[in-house]
Amino acid sequence: MTCSSSSRGSQTVKFNKSSFANAVIPEKNPYLIIRDQGEAKSIQGLYLKIGKSSKTFFLEKKISGRKGNALTVKIGSLSVLSVDEARRQAKQIAAICERGDDPRELLKKGVAA
């Protein structure tokens, strides 16, 4: 996992591997973002960023009790993680943020999310 701060436009489609395989990056954009929405098991803030050569899961989440922008945490590649595993990891990271901790600090210390 790695972290950065960012917020981008998105597209809403079914959040599964077949939707990702059929996704088309708009001609004027370097990538496409597909957000996990509309399902009972959806994780708010989880999205897949599809670039020309990569498909990577991220979680965008504010830290509870802190001002400022939401954090963007890189979870991992679609080639390594299933949608369910990305959701499990996103849920763990979201729980860290909800208790007011910064997951970046835990990553620096080598503590697993």
What's the pLDDT tens digit per position in 86-97?
A: 999 999 999 999
Q: Evaluate whether 60 touches 37 at the Cβ level (below 8 Å).
A: no
Distance from first CA to last CA of the chain, Å, rounded? 9
Amino acid 50: pLDDT: 93
pLDDT at 107 over 90: no
